Amino acid sequence: MNINTIQEIYAAINPIPAILATKGKVKPEVSFEIRANANIQISMNWVKDTGVQDWDRKYQVFVGSPEEAMTKVLNFIAEMPDAKTARLHTFMAKLGAVIDDGRVLGVDVDFINPLVKTMKRLSENVITHKKSLTGHSVSK
């Protein structure tokens, strides 16, 4: 991949927001920045999975030559889970936080234990799903 002209920059980064959207990212933005006496950087951001406001965003920055930075971007995106799995992970994080809050607040274990059991089942399903996708076992 050669990125030498403005047109090649646009061709390289314009599809990225749509790709991020297929990964479940909300309102993704991508920019390409050239800095004097430095490498370029490609920046990506989107509304955080746990965010409730558009300004509550997750940021990723990749630095290098245009080709290196773009390769880093594409590798990062390839490693992201699909949208359904990402939503499940977000739910699990929120459920875990509720369980922790309940324990700190002294909520009766009769209310907490069913949540803990649900969390364990969800975790086992995620591990089983990863194993079926890769054909390899995933450590707990």
Q: What is the mean pLDDT of residues 56-61?
A: 95
- Listed by start position, the domains of the chain span 6-79, 83-134
33-37, 47-51, 61-65 — which is least confidently predicted? 47-51
User: What confidence category does residue 17 fall into, taking pLDDT thresholds of 50, 70 and 90?
Assistant: very high
Per-residue model confidence (pLDDT) at position 89 = 85
Between helix 6-13 and helix 66-79 the angle, nearest 10°, is 10
Q: Read out DSSP for 33-47?
A: E--TTS-EEEEEEEE
Alpha carbon distances (Å) from 10 to 4, 28, 59, 127: 11, 16, 20, 38
Per-residue model confidence (pLDDT) at position 133 = 46
Q: What is the mean pLDDT of residues 95-124?
A: 87
Averaged confidence pLDDT in the chain: 86
**With 80 as the cut, is the pLDDT of residue 135 above it?**
no
